[in-house]
Amino acid sequence: MFEKEEIFVDSEIGRLRRLIIHSPDGGIGKIVPGKFKEWLYDDTVHLTQMRKEYNSYIKILLWFLDPEKAKYVTQYEQDNPGNNDCYKPDNKNYFNSSKVLDSQYLLAQILQDEATRKRIISATCAWEGVSTLTEKKLERITDAHELAKTLISGTMKDSTGREIDFIFPPLPNFIFTRDIAITINDHLLLSNAHAPARERESLFARYIAQYLLFKDKEEKLIEISEPSNFFLLSEELQQRKKTSIEGGDVMMISPNHLLIGCSERTTASGINEVIHAIFEKKATGIEKISVIKIPKLRAIMHIDTIFTQVRKDTWVLFGRFSERLNKKRTRFDYYEKITHEDALGKDSNVEILRFEKKIYEDYSPEKNYQADISGKITGLESLLRNISIEDFQVNPDDVKIIYSADNIFPFDEREQWTDSCNVLALKNGVVIGYERNEKTSQSFIEHGFDVVDADALLEDFASGKKDPDKIENTLILLTASELSRARGGSHCMSLPLLRDKI
């Protein structure tokens, strides 16, 4: 089902051909208020509704990436009203696409091999610190799909088939597959999650990469770890210097250019390791890395919560971080200042550093490169404009920036919170966003985009009235009353493995 060769991403907007997602699993339905902070949620979620919303997302992806399977699920739903089995990776009626891949399905694939299965069970148990008895129980689950589901959701069935309590915590953030790894041309950078609640995700991502996606080409994996003497640092220093990087902070923006955010989740030390790892590997194709330092705040945990690319010449950006707008800002100044200090911190400044790879022939063979800082770029909006102009040869006057809720307070902040700036491009100019961000959608219209409701579009695809190949310059809107509570948009909910070259 899986051709390893087909892993290649050199932009955020080339036509999407294959990606990893993860359907909301039972673990999300077990979040309790006392664990919000630790498990990185801000609310409980109505799982049934969330799944409905997510299934529309899957169907849109299937129509664009794997139309035969889209027809299959459409037919299945028609024949079996109210039955969602075709979306469950552990069910025999699963749509089972080789283009839209569920991480749970991939985990189940590698769990079929006896040695790998043992290794993953013991690694997970050691990691979660569970008893030998529990480990034995896990070993007795012979069905790989059931085991994958258990390892992810953290709950297990007893001998009578009743679901018993947690054996370890759920992974409610696993739906945000963006964060677990990032495809950099034909390489894969594995994340080092910042929060303990996401570390088991990193573990599974690593095994899926090692034993399936990059089997026999492990040299294409980029991994980072703590520097060798890290364990000698004091606890406090370890906390500060933790080497973490999450995929939401990394964008493969153009064939030789990588963006990395320094944020609540991705630390300077993590970035330092990545720069070295990437420049050291000769074949990554990356020549320049722009580091975007944003305030460390929950509202903007990754750079993809404040901007994403829509088209070669178009971006959606949270205006609060535009140096151009900040100069002009007047209207709600006073009120804004007060709220800023709570929600966004005092500082809405973004700092940008660019590292360029320079080769020095006379260095030792292991280290013949140097990351040169070639001066600062004045701000985030300039950086984005610059990418359109330099990397995509867009005429400077043609670059368009769509701001969250047209930069009108307080809607800009509200819509940013529900991921107005976090869109996934299916191809150059066609992106998926959330219906609830109405003012941002209005801005898309004003910039010449069509805005369509996902469910209406699905009907038109099913009836043949519209053809995914002919859709251009469109924002597709998902209902996301529950999805957005998990604090991520379609960009976060996708790990692209294959895009057409840009």
Q: Which residues bind ligand ARG (CB under 6 A)?
A: 40-41, 173, 176, 178-179, 248, 301-302, 304-305, 486-488, 492
Interatomic CA distance for residues 428 and 157, integer angstroms = 45
Tell the smallest beta-carbon distance from residue 227 to ligand ARG (Å). Answer: 25
Tell the smallest beta-carbon distance from residue 242 to ligand ARG (Å). Answer: 15
Tell the smallest beta-carbon distance from residue 310 to ligand ARG (Å). Answer: 17
C-beta closer to ligand ARG: residue 181 or 371: 181
Instruction: Tell me if residue 261 falls in helix, strand or coil.
Output: strand
CB atoms under 10 Å from CB of 79, counted, come to 9
Which residues, 6+ apart, have CB-to-CB distance to 393 below 8 Å? none
C-beta closer to ligand ARG: residue 105 or 176: 176
C-beta closer to ligand ARG: residue 95 or 176: 176
Tell the smallest beta-carbon distance from residue 489 to ligand ARG (Å). Answer: 7
Question: Token pair for residue 482?
Answer: 């529950």
Tell the smallest beta-carbon distance from residue 358 to ligand ARG (Å). Answer: 31
Question: Token pair for residue 230?
Answer: 């890290």
Tell the smallest beta-carbon distance from residue 66 to ligand ARG (Å). Answer: 24
Residue 473 burial (C-beta neighbours within 10 Å; 0-12, 13-18, 19+): middle
C-beta closer to ligand ARG: residue 9 or 394: 9
Tell the smallest beta-carbon distance from residue 333 to ligand ARG (Å). Answer: 29
Tell the smallest beta-carbon distance from residue 305 to ligand ARG (Å). Answer: 5
Interatomic CA distance for residues 300 and 403, integer angstroms = 15
Closest CA to 485 of 53, 17, 193: 53
Inter-residue contact 280 to 219 (CB < 8 Å):
no
Tell the smallest beta-carbon distance from residue 425 to ligand ARG (Å). Answer: 15
C-beta closer to ligand ARG: residue 313 or 419: 419
C-beta closer to ligand ARG: residue 178 or 206: 178
Interatomic CA distance for residues 215 and 212, integer angstroms = 5
C-beta closer to ligand ARG: residue 211 or 307: 307
C-beta closer to ligand ARG: residue 13 or 197: 197
Tell the smallest beta-carbon distance from residue 177 to ligand ARG (Å). Answer: 9
C-beta closer to ligand ARG: residue 284 or 305: 305
Which pairing describes strands 288-293 and 257-262: parallel, antiparallel, or unpaired?
parallel
Provide the 8-state DSSP code for 15: P
Q: Is residue 355 left, alpha or beta, with left meaning phi > 0 and alpha meaning psi from -120 to 50?
A: beta
3-class DSSP string for 410-462? CHHHHHHHCCCCCCEEEECCEEEEECCCHHHHHHHHHCCCEEEEHHHHHHHHH
Residue nearest to ligand ARG (CB): 248
Tell the smallest beta-carbon distance from residue 502 to ligand ARG (Å). Answer: 21
Question: Token pair for residue 298?
Answer: 């929950």
Closest CA to 130 of 183, 70, 200: 200
C-beta closer to ligand ARG: residue 195 or 221: 195
285-288 contacts at long range (C-beta below 8 A, 24 or more positions apart): 285/10, 285/184, 285/185, 285/255, 285/256, 286/184, 286/185, 286/256, 286/257, 286/258, 286/357, 287/256, 287/257, 287/356, 287/357, 288/256, 288/257, 288/258, 288/354, 288/355, 288/356, 288/357
Interatomic CA distance for residues 245 and 278, integer angstroms = 14
DSSP characters for 298-321? GGG-SGGGTEEEEETTEEEE-GGG
C-beta closer to ligand ARG: residue 302 or 400: 302
Question: Token pair for residue 21?
Answer: 């997602």
